[in-house]
Amino acid sequence: DAKTTQPTSMDCAEGRAANLPCNHSTISGNEYVYWYRQIHSQGPQYIIHGLKNNETNEMASLIITEDRKSSTLILPHATLRDTAVYYCIVRAVYAGGTSYGKLTFGQGTILTVHP
Amino acid sequence: DGGITQSPKYLFRKEGQNVTLSCEQNLNHDAMYWYRQDPGQGLRLIYYSQIVNDFQKGDIAEGYSVSREKKESFPLTVTSAQKNPTAFYLCATRRTGSYNEQFFGPGTRLTVL
């Protein structure tokens, strides 16, 4: 799996957009970008994923650069409840039989949303 | 209410005792996973099961054992052979038809005294 690099921590004001970057310069053609988040002392929560086109759902938007070497997760109107650790994961859709779902969670970005 | 149940939320055991952590799901997902998380760290995969009666070791399986006798249940036993068992343990399922979209339970925080 391609390695990802994320900033250790970021701050955001409540109501403003939170833009979380992720570098994945060694990503290969069959690898998707996944984002999860983990609120303190809870299990991680799936947010969004994409291959090369920008994606949007009810939680967030994912912008992937044309060369696919980096991406940005956007929370359009951050709230205090969005304070969490955000994980960027790169993973092939097909990694062979029993390898499905073997995700590697790094240390992620600690996002703090303040009033 | 559909979801993943892990109980209890907090568990205390004496050193040298085996302990079994429960994970139950009613999402009808085939695949289930166990992760371990240490303070300030990401998640590490212990064991996973793609289907009933089958499971594979993850990256840190030593000192742990699992069973998958029913689709709904994937219990994890932390044995006395696990050198540093105190951690936050998370169970997850993978949505059928999805390759990497996982749903996580609330976790069990195990403390070995």
Residues of B with CB under 8 A from a CB of A: 4, 31, 33, 35, 40-45, 48, 50, 56, 58, 88, 90-92, 94, 99-107, 109
pLDDT of the residue at A100: 58
pLDDT band with cut points at 50, 70 and 90 for residue B100:
confident
Question: Measured between CB atoms, which of A42, A101, A105 is closest to B42?
Answer: A105
Q: Is A73 exposed, middle or buried (0-12, 13-18, 19+ CB in 10 A)?
A: buried
Residue A104: list chain B partners with CB under 8 A. Answer: 42, 45
What mean pLDDT do residues B29-57 have?
91
pLDDT band with cut points at 50, 70 and 90 for residue B53:
very high
Nearest-angstrom CA–CA distance, A7 and B69: 42
Token pair recorded at residue B74: 């994937």
Residue B20 near residue B41, CB atoms below 8 Å: no
Tell me what the pLDDT averaged over chain B comes to: 91
Distances (CA, A) of A83 to A9, A21, A28, A104, B106: 11, 16, 31, 21, 17
Nearest-angstrom CA–CA distance, B44 and A29: 25
Among B87, B90, B85, residue whose Cα is nearest residue B103: B90
pLDDT of the residue at A1: 64
| H or E element that contains A16 | none
Beta strands in B38-86 (DSSP E): 43-51, 54-57, 64-66, 76-78
Per-residue model confidence as pLDDT tens for chain A (115 residues): 668 999 999 999 999 999 999 999 999 888 899 999 999 889 999 999 999 989 999 999 999 999 999 999 999 999 999 999 999 999 876 655 555 567 888 889 999 999 9
Token pair recorded at residue B10: 């907090």
Region of poorest pLDDT, from B14-18, B21-25, B87-91, B99-103: B99-103
